[in-house]
Amino acid sequence: MPIGFNQEDIQKLDAVVATRRRVKQGDNLFSNGDSFTSLFAIRTGFFKTCVSTADGREQVTGFQMAGEIIGLDGIVSDYHSCNAVALEDAEVCVMPFANVEDLSREFPQLQRHVHKIMSREIVRENSVMMLLGNMRAEERLAAFLLNLVQRLHARGFSQSELTLRMSREEIGSYLGMKLETVSRAFSKFSDEGIIEVKQRYVRIIEPDALKKIFDPQTCT
Partner DNA sequence: AATTGGCTTTGATGCAAGTCAAACGATGGT
Partner DNA sequence: ACCATCGTTTGACTTGCATCAAAGCCAATT
Beta carbons within 10 angstroms of residue 175's beta carbon: 22
- Contact status: 167 vs DNA (CB under 7 A): yes
The DSSP symbol for 176 reads T
Q: Which is nearer to its own copies, 65 or 110 (CB)?
A: 110
Residue 44: in which H helix or E strand, if any? strand 38-44
Binders in 160-219 for its own copies, by CB under 8 A? 173-176, 215-218
Per-residue x/- track, 125-164, DNA (CB under 7 A): -----------xxx-------------------------x
Whose CA is closest to 18, among 99, 111, 74?
A: 99
> How far is 22 from 45, CA to CA, in rounded Å?
10
Alpha carbon distances (Å) from 41 to 68, 76, 94, 100:
6, 19, 7, 12
**Which residues contact residue 205 at a Cβ distance below 8 angstroms, ignoring those fewer than 6 apart?**
160, 193, 194, 195, 196
Residue 167, binding choice from its own copies, DNA, none, Cβ under 5 to 8 Å by partner class = DNA
Tell the smallest beta-carbon distance from residue 215 to DNA (Å). Answer: 15
Q: Pick the piece of the chain touching DNA (CB under 7 A) from 31-39, 82-90, 147-155, 169-177.
A: 169-177
Per-residue x/- track, 40-79, its own copies (CB under 8 A): -----------x-xxxxxxx-x----------xxxxxx--
Residue 112, binding choice from DNA, its own copies, none, Cβ under 5 to 8 Å by partner class = its own copies
